[in-house]
Amino acid sequence: MSAAIALTEATFKEAVAQGATLVDFWAEWCGPCRMVAPVLDDLAKDYAGKASIAKVNVDQEPGLAEQFGVSSIPTLLVMKNGAEIKRFVGVTAKAELAKALDAALG
């Protein structure tokens, strides 16, 4: 089980409204998404109590994917107080994601 929070259209806005959140737009069938999953689990542990790590399954929540213009997965958004401040598309190194989260927290 992932350490990341699963988000839906109903829970998304409230979940990202406060603080820093890294949101992964992914799908079960996506190989690169499976490669990123353990990195996100590590970040969830590293940033526990500081930032949230969340996932949006694009097959189950196509409206959110459309709302954020997600056309390739994985797409990772760094959100601060509800606003997107950084976007990564494709497999991204843990250090890059941590640097973006640190900037959002800074």
Task: Kindly list the catalytic residues.
Answer: 30, 33
Q: Which stretches of 3-106 are DSSP H helices?
A: 9-16, 31-46, 62-67, 94-105
Question: Which of 34, 86, 79 lies closest to 57, judged by CA?
Answer: 34
